[in-house]
Amino acid sequence: MNSSHANISEELLARYLADTASESERNDVEAWLAESEANARELATYRLIWDHTASMKKSAAVDTDAAWNKMKGKMQVGKASPAEPEAKEARTIEFRPEARQRRLPVTVWAAAMIAILVAAFGWFFLIADKTPESVEVATANNTTEQLLPDGTKVFLNYNSKLTYPENFTGDLRTVSLQGEAFFDVKRDAAHPFVIQANGTEIRVLGTSFNVKAYNESPVRVDVATGKVRVSKDAHRVELVKGQSAEVLKDSIRSLQANMNLMGYRTQVYEFNAADLQDVVSSIRDGYHVDVRLSNDKIAQCRLTIRFEKEPVDATLAVIAETLDLNLRKEGKVYWLEGNGCE
């Protein structure tokens, strides 16, 4: 039995529930109840079982005090004084084949029932309440790909953390994201996939998309395939391939998807008459390198070009050659220098 009532016997709890306990005993039980919420919950369980068993015994009401006094009387018969010569005869008991069955006091019977049923209830709730273990995957100065239990693939960017259950149970497949990740969700129409990210919920059935959810900036979702629903508080928007949304404090803004934001995973960059400032920003985020422009004049230079899985040095060299700029590396910093573009 649970050690939380080591000083409170099942018999006493049974008397308490049957309203046959003395005032002192009731005080003991109530003091035990006040010790912790666990004790109160345990008694509530006992009361549920007691009420159930009481309904089963209504047809044979039991007077516990009378039963106890009767038992004490029988016990006294066997305690004859040595000075009484007839004591030996008084101890003679006649047994008959049809003798009545020996009845245990109702409190003992109830305590035994409580012990058995509580053990059964406890085991059931222990199994029912057991939740799957959580798995946490985190990155620092690296990227990594993680396969989830349902077959969903997640590609984590730098300084990101993904938390998910060891096994998905229930109606939803729910994960938590801090940072940035590309999701390729295994389709399961009966069990929607849900991402919790900085107060924003992203819900899908089966699709691929990018989620950027760093603490210092608004949550952004860019959809590569399928349909995605983005919601926060009372605000909601549905996105399809090529669409994007940025979650602000009190609204959700719809945008055109920027596939270059996914370059950290795909290593594919495609620019169409893009400002050099935007090109450099994409290269910086995708390759995780420090790229700077020497002056504001060249920031407005426009570039139309595509890179696919090229090393960062080669990518920057092609940009410099195309725009007639100089590329210089100083420590870990890349500099693009020039006088501007015509």
Q: Is residue 238 part of a domain?
A: yes
| pLDDT at 105 (0 to 100) | 61
Tell me if residue 245 falls in helix, strand or coil.
strand
Q: Is residue 150 part of a domain?
A: yes
Identify residue 24 by its one-letter amino acid code: S
- Cα angle 145, 242, 185 (rounded to 5 degrees) comes to 35
| pLDDT at 2 (0 to 100) | 44
**Each residue's pLDDT tens digit in the chain (342 positions)?**
444 455 677 788 788 878 888 888 888 888 888 887 778 777 777 777 766 665 555 544 445 455 445 544 544 554 444 444 444 444 444 445 444 455 556 555 566 666 666 565 565 555 445 566 899 999 999 999 999 999 999 999 999 999 999 999 999 999 999 999 999 999 999 999 999 999 999 999 889 999 999 998 999 999 999 999 999 999 999 999 999 999 998 899 999 999 999 999 999 999 999 999 999 999 999 999 999 999 999 999 999 999 999 999 999 999 999 999 999 999 999 999 998 776
Q: Is residue 21 part of a domain?
A: yes
Q: Are residues 53 and 143 in the same domain?
A: no
| pLDDT at 225 (0 to 100) | 95
| pLDDT at 68 (0 to 100) | 46
Q: Are residues 120 and 139 in the same domain?
A: no
CB 227 within 8 A of CB 236: no
Q: Are residues 212 and 316 in the same domain?
A: no
Q: Which among 284, 157, 292 has a CA at the least distance from the CA of 222?
A: 157
Q: Which among 295, 340, 337 has a CA at the least distance from the CA of 320?
A: 337
Domain final residue, candidates 261, 279, 304: 261
Q: Is residue 308 part of a domain?
A: yes
Identify residue 46 by its one-letter amino acid code: Y
Q: Are residues 252 and 143 in the same domain?
A: yes
Question: What letter would DSSP give residue 18?
Answer: T
Q: Which among 214, 218, 195 has a CA at the least distance from the CA of 205?
A: 195
Identify residue 39 by its one-letter amino acid code: N
Q: Is residue 342 part of a domain?
A: no
Q: Are residues 113 and 164 in the same domain?
A: no
| pLDDT at 110 (0 to 100) | 61
Q: Are residues 272 and 211 in the same domain?
A: no
Domain final residue, candidates 239, 261, 283: 261
Quote the domain boundaries for residue 52.
3-93+102-128
Q: Which neighbouring-strand residues pair with 308? A: 268
Give how many domains the chain has, as a whole number: 3
Q: Which among 279, 270, 278, 202 has a CA at the least distance from the CA of 236?
A: 202
Q: Are residues 110 and 158 in the same domain?
A: no
Q: What CATH number is associated with residue 169?
A: 2.60.120.1440
Question: What letter would DSSP give residue 297?
Answer: G
Q: Is residue 224 part of a domain?
A: yes
Q: Which neighbouring-strand residues pair with 240? A: 227
Helices vs strands, H then E, count in the chain: 9, 18
Q: What CATH number is associated with residue 286?
A: 3.55.50.30
Distances (CA, A) of 8 to 44, 116, 170: 15, 17, 39
Q: Are residues 138 and 257 in the same domain?
A: yes
Q: Is residue 279 part of a domain?
A: yes
Domain final residue, candidates 202, 227, 261: 261
Q: Are residues 199 and 228 in the same domain?
A: yes
| pLDDT at 299 (0 to 100) | 93
Q: Is residue 31 part of a domain?
A: yes
Q: Are residues 11 and 65 in the same domain?
A: yes
Q: Are residues 225 and 193 in the same domain?
A: yes
Q: Are residues 48 and 76 in the same domain?
A: yes
Helix, strand, coil shares, percent, the chain, to 5: 35, 30, 35
